[in-house]
Amino acid sequence: MTTEEVLQALTILKSHYPTWQAPVVTFVAVSKGTPYQVLIATLLSLRTKDETTREATKRLFTRAHTPEKMLTLSEEEIARLIYPVGFYRMKAKRIKEITQILLEKYNGIVPDTIEELLTLPGVGRKTANLVITLGYHKPGICVDTHVHRISNRWDYVRTKTPEETEFALREKLPVSEWITYNDILVAFGQTICKPVSPLCKSRCPVNHLCPQRGVERHR
């Protein structure tokens, strides 16, 4: 697909997006979540199902929704509140570490640059981009497995890793679409453009534009 075709596909998908379940971190952000809450919710969402993350996030933020309050909780308390998210013990440790750093080094304010965010323990490019885009509404492209898969399936990029996809998209995709690209493609990937046997003919509204690169079986 060309950039023009990708933009056309995004326009179509935007009209269908409200009928899909939004990613959890987006839910936190549009619910007036702070950059700190977006950061913590993103960490909880890694390798965890959306509904599990949603409930864990609600439990945790009911007890502590600021760095100052989070630091009053023990690592064991945090682990209990976020269970059963994936790697909940390690994530509880990371939350304490990150919160301590934010209070000591940044006066409790989450950094607003990818470079600084990447210095925090356990924060990778996906998490950093989500904080930048959803927490601070600054241009960024978050690439997870869905965005990586679909971007290659559309033959818009030809990359081997999500990080390669992010930098390729930064070169081709208009900045005006950076923030929404992740949200739309994640929801699209979860509901229709699935990893195995995507719903190309039965439900995909952009099937006529998609070259289906790498798709061996579809419905």
Known catalytic residues are: 126, 144
What string of H, E and C letters represents the secondary structure of 8-47?
HHHHHHHHHHHHCCCCHHHHHHHCCCCHHHHHHHHHHHCC
